[in-house]
């Protein structure tokens, strides 16, 4: 016996994502989902961004890692509330995990919640967490072919941060190629070239974020 089902397989994640998005809108909170490979500098970008904005804007962070609570500790060290989600091996965060993490945050005064997703340029792209803005980070040490190799992450992002530009003199990284490849996939992508270490180029990213 054949039965027509025609149901969305990730409906459960979509339901949680929709609920999260509704919650953010009702509280007037901007939620950002940061996606990248491991070691691209997401946490350092966050640290520098929070230091710059925390007098003007109330920020909290939801940290996703397979194991350890190291990243949440780094964020708390700069005086901002952080919740750590340890996925114990799962390669991406789900919207349901974000819903649970939100219960652990005092969201009354918040302007921005940043979700630092698991370091992985593949799986997190498929899971809407209810964010309004998706940021993908690519560090120049990873090579300039990544937009072509991992198109999903770039096709679905709103912002691309090209990080570690202070290393450019030591690498053969073609920024033009990355821009071209990324814009081919996503013509509305906003691209910033930054160094979280030296903070070069970050002022434009700060301005964009403040304006949003």
Partner 1 sequence: MHEAMIAENILETIFAQTKKKGGPLGAGRVVRAVISCGQINAVNDEAMQFAFEAAAAGTICQGAKLEIKHIPLKGLCKGCGNEFEFDLYNPHCPKCSKNDFSIGEDAPLLLEEIELEED
Interface residues toward partner 1, by CB under 8 A:
1-13, 90-92, 94, 122-123, 126-127, 148, 151-152, 155-156, 184-185
Closer to partner 1 by CB, 4 or 176: give it. Answer: 4
* Minimum distance of partner 1 from residue 152's CB (angstroms): 6
Rounded Cα distance between 116 and 54, Å, is 17
Rounded Cα distance between 105 and 171, Å, is 41
Contact call for residues 136 and 186 (beta carbons, < 8 A): no
* Minimum distance of partner 1 from residue 4's CB (angstroms): 6
Closer to partner 1 by CB, 3 or 79: give it. Answer: 3
Closer to partner 1 by CB, 35 or 82: give it. Answer: 35
Closer to partner 1 by CB, 41 or 124: give it. Answer: 124
Contact call for residues 146 and 64 (beta carbons, < 8 A): no
The CB density around residue 185, as the number of other CB atoms within 10 Å, is 16
The conformation of residue 169, written as its DSSP 8-state character, comes to G
* Minimum distance of partner 1 from residue 212's CB (angstroms): 24
Closer to partner 1 by CB, 41 or 64: give it. Answer: 64
Characterize 27-47 residue by residue with b for buried, 16 or more Cβ atoms within 10 angstroms of its Cβ, and e for exposed. eebbbbbbbbbeebbbbbbbb
Closer to partner 1 by CB, 8 or 211: give it. Answer: 8
* Minimum distance of partner 1 from residue 53's CB (angstroms): 32
Characterize 115-138 residue by residue with b for buried, 16 or more Cβ atoms within 10 angstroms of its Cβ, and e for exposed. bbbbbbbebbbebbbbbebbbbbb
* Minimum distance of partner 1 from residue 157's CB (angstroms): 12
* Minimum distance of partner 1 from residue 3's CB (angstroms): 5
Beta bridge partners of 82: 61
């Amino acid at each position: 016996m054949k039965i027509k089902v025609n149901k969305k397989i990730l409906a459960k994640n979509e339901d949680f994502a929709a609920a999260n998005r509704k919650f953010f809108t009702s509280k007037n909170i901007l939620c950002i989902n940061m996606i990248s490979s491991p070691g691209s500098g997401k946490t350092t970008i966050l640290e520098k961004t929070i230091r710059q904005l925390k007098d003007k804007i109330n920020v909290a962070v939801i940290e996703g890692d397979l194991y350890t609570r190291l990243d949440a500790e780094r964020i708390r060290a700069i005086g901002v509330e952080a919740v750590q989600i340890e996925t114990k091996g799962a390669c991406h965060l789900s919207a349901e995990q974000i819903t649970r993490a939100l219960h652990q945050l005092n969201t009354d005064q918040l302007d921005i919640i940043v979700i630092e997703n698991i370091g992985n340029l593949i799986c997190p792209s498929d899971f809407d967490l209810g964010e309004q803005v998706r940021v993908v980070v690519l560090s120049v040490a990873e090579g300039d072919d990544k937009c072509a190799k991992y198109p999903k992450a770039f096709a679905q992002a709103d912002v691309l941060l090209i990080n570690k530009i202070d290393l450019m003199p030591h690498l053969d990284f073609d920024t033009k190629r990355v821009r071209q490849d990324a814009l081919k996939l996503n013509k509305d992508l906003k691209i910033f070239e930054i160094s979280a270490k030296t903070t070069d180029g970050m002022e434009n990213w700060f301005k964009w974020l403040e304006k949003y």
